[in-house]
Amino acid sequence: MNMRRTTIKDVAEAAGVGVATVSRVLSGGSASPETRERVLTVAAQLDYRPSALGRNLRQRRSGGIGLLVPDITDSFYGRLADGVLACARSAGEPVILGTTGDDAEREAEEIAVLLEQGVDRVVAVPAGNGEIWEPTLRSGLTTVFAHRLAAGRQDVPAVLADDRAGVRTAVDYLTGLGHRRIAYLGGPGQDSRVSVFRQTLGALVDEELIVFARGSRDSAYAAAAGLFQHRPDLTAVLAGGNQLGEAAVLAARELDLRVPKDLSLIMFDDVPWAELCSPPLTVIAEPAQDIGYRAAELVLRAGGRRPRGALLPTELIVRGSCGPRRTQ
Amino acid sequence: MNMRRTTIKDVAEAAGVGVATVSRVLSGGSASPETRERVLTVAAQLDYRPSALGRNLRQRRSGGIGLLVPDITDSFYGRLADGVLACARSAGEPVILGTTGDDAEREAEEIAVLLEQGVDRVVAVPAGNGEIWEPTLRSGLTTVFAHRLAAGRQDVPAVLADDRAGVRTAVDYLTGLGHRRIAYLGGPGQDSRVSVFRQTLGALVDEELIVFARGSRDSAYAAAAGLFQHRPDLTAVLAGGNQLGEAAVLAARELDLRVPKDLSLIMFDDVPWAELCSPPLTVIAEPAQDIGYRAAELVLRAGGRRPRGALLPTELIVRGSCGPRRTQ
DNA sequence: CTGAAAGCGCTAACAT
DNA sequence: ATGTTAGCGCTTTCAG
């Protein structure tokens, strides 16, 4: 029943050549046309599939690329992962997926698993600070960060959406509508956005209106509800991701705040349901899938040297969740 | 800079024992208490991490479990994957993810990649018919199907939601509301559901009201819009998944059909946005995450013998998208 | 209880 | 151009 797989040795014998020749032919090395053809034919007849196991051990590295995201049930990371998979598939590389829950400790564990597997290329949405990555990077792991960078790790190439521009655009749009008390509802790893938020708002910043949730949906809801209750005077909110936006919509509804009459809402990340919502949500679209694809590309093309990162454009898509400031 | 990893040999030398002893100690084999302790101490000092590469080659199988889903950007499969990851993590096993796009050919390619990697355990939402799996299964791949089964492969254990019961409940609910012209908007691999749909509806079935989309969002929208245009006399629709439900809402809005006044809608799969929609969508909830977790559990616990599958309950969650039949 | 030794399938020197 | 050979790091007989 469960017979041994065909090995390179079987092919070599059947073709009457040495194993090295088979190896060369199959990896595009030099060989006489006729030998090449014979080997190829025999390999096909025997339905020979080179084992990645042997190759990996020999080369002291597993092919394949590791992918670490905070939460695969989040539409944004789902699309990001899809981009990575698309690129990896075109290169015939397997993808090992791990989730971190935006927790530094879990991230470290997942990295350990990848290392143990011999993975030497990884695309990650970093959860912990840069230090966690220190030993990993020094051990030769080719790393590309996606969507955000780790504090104090400017040396790792990263593929990011230009959410700084996104924040500016959103804030300008909101202030242009007359809003003055604008809140930022953030998630893990959004320090950079918040600093732009502060800059753009200038004298209008109100630190109490900047709140953070942890990764979970519950935490997001709690943060949103808390914000709306403590500061009923705010008139607009910028949600830092689709789960945060979802929480904001839910919390607003719970507190009988009408969108956009009582509260204007802009959400980072354009998800399909943003259009189904009523009112349809005004969003800052981020090219999640592209981010993943580009990051995978970088990590694959990295021929030892460190590639430069990329900054992808965001876009404000105006729908119906923002209106002029409510007159008190 | 890029120094060699610590190997089992290094540990053996440092501890003054043979490599075999180190191997035994680390895999819980027999050893004298003092030897064991010494080895453990040295291993810890050297920060030794066994390489999966060597172990895999020796055992002619990669650890790790393969996961094949149609589309990782679909919330349902995202949750399913999350379940698999949760179970795999608790077992310390890596997960190799591949997407099939519900295409048999791509599925075959992904299987080939997994096999080449030496993966011998896979959880899959099968796309192709059962025959594709024939050679794979005979080659000793431990397989568990999730969410649906492959035609003519009753021999593979599967973890399914009881969507047959779900369909019955939904149809009964709809007919109870007075509906007679009820449509089914289906996706790939939903034959079993449709057969129950026909059964439950009995004399009421109208074959023209049963339409199928391929996997994509576009295809789903086209199917929904086509259905609503050709048969404006229908009063209720059962959407076979969240993307189909989304398409139905969109198409209904486009054609100015009011939900639930003109059209009652029930969607398979309870996604977060179902509640944000207006009206909030009545759904048949499916335990996607559980399905993934249980499937992974089965594939891991499978000690050679073939485990039995599982049938998980679904639940009708009534919200606001269904109403009494519109009086013509 | 422990160590020596034989590979797992493959690639990369090194010969020829 | 091609064959021979030496491992990659690990587990597993097989002796002792």
pLDDT tens readout for residues B263-278: 999 999 999 999 999 8
**Please, which residues have CB within 8 angstroms of residue B282's CB and are 6 or more apart in sequence?**
B265, B266, B267, B316, B317, B318, B319, B320, B321, B322
With an 8 Å Cβ cutoff, are B78 and A79 in contact? Answer: no
Q: Tell me how many residue pairs between chain A and chain B have CB atoms under 8 A apart.
A: 149
* Cβ contact A213:A220 at 8 Å: yes
The dihedrals phi and psi of A115, each to the nearest 5 degrees, come to -60, -45
Tokens 């899959």: give the residue: B124
Other beta carbons within 10 angstroms of residue B45's beta carbon come to 12
pTM given for the model: 0.96
Distance CA A148, CA A145 (A): 7
Say what the pLDDT of residue B206 is.
95
Nearest CA in chain A to B91: A113
Chain D nucleotides reached by a protein CB under 7 Å: 1-5, 7-13
* Residue from A157, A151, A90 nearest A123 by CA: A157
State the CATH class of domain B65-161+289-314: alpha beta
Chain B residues with beta carbon closer than 8 angstroms to that of A49: 112, 115-116
CB of B138 within 8 Å of a chain A CB? The answer is yes
- Report residue A193 CA to chain centroid gap: 16
CB of B304 within 8 Å of a chain A CB? The answer is no
Q: Is the shortest CB-to-strand distance from A33 to strand D under 7 Å? A: no
Q: Which two tokens stand for residue B1?
A: 């800079």
pLDDT tens readout for residues A62-121: 889 999 999 999 999 999 999 999 999 999 999 999 999 999 999 999 999 999 999 999
The Cα-based distances of B93 to A82, A310, B87, B88, B300 in angstroms read: 22, 32, 9, 5, 9
Enumerate the H helices of B27-117 as residue ranges.
33-45, 52-59, 75-90, 104-116
Q: Given A5, A57, A116, which is nearest B57 (Cβ)?
A: A57
Query: What residue ranges do the domains of chain A occupy?
Result: 8-50, 65-161+289-314, 163-286
Say what the pLDDT of residue A305 is.
66
Q: Which two tokens stand for residue A85?
A: 């998979």
CA of B84 to C1' of C13 (A): 43
Mean pLDDT by 10 residues, chain A (328 residues): 79 93 90 92 94 93 93 98 98 96 95 94 92 86 94 91 97 97 96 96 95 94 97 96 97 94 97 93 98 97 78 98 82
**Domain range B163-286, its CATH number among 3.30.930.10, 3.30.300.30, 2.115.10.20, 3.40.50.2300:** 3.40.50.2300
Q: Which two tokens stand for residue A31?
A: 């060989």
Q: What is the Cα gyration radius of chain B?
A: 25
* Cβ contact A327:A176 at 8 Å: no
Mean pLDDT by 10 residues, chain B (328 residues): 80 94 91 92 94 94 93 98 98 96 95 94 92 86 94 91 97 96 96 96 95 94 97 96 97 94 97 93 98 96 78 97 82
For the range B129-132, what are the long-range contacts, defined as Cβ-Cβ under 8 Å and sequence gap of 24 or more?
A: B129/B104, B132/B104, B132/B107, B132/B108
Say what the pLDDT of residue B151 is.
86
| The domains spanning B65-161+289-314 and B163-286 adopt the same CATH topology | yes
Say what the pLDDT of residue A1 is.
46
With an 8 Å Cβ cutoff, are B72 and A81 in contact? Answer: yes
Residues with CB under 7 A from strand C: A 4-5, 7-9, 19-20, 23, 26-27, 50-51, 53-55, 57-59; B 16-21, 24, 30-32, 34-36, 54, 57-58, 60
* Cβ contact B248:B38 at 8 Å: no
**Beta strands at A158-161 and A142-146: parallel, antiparallel or unpaired:** parallel
DSSP letters of A134-175?
A: HHHHHTT-EEEEESS--TT-TTS-EEEE-HHHHHHHHHHHHH
* Residue from A95, A98, A100 nearest A70 by CA: A100
Architecture of domain A8-50: Orthogonal Bundle (1.10)
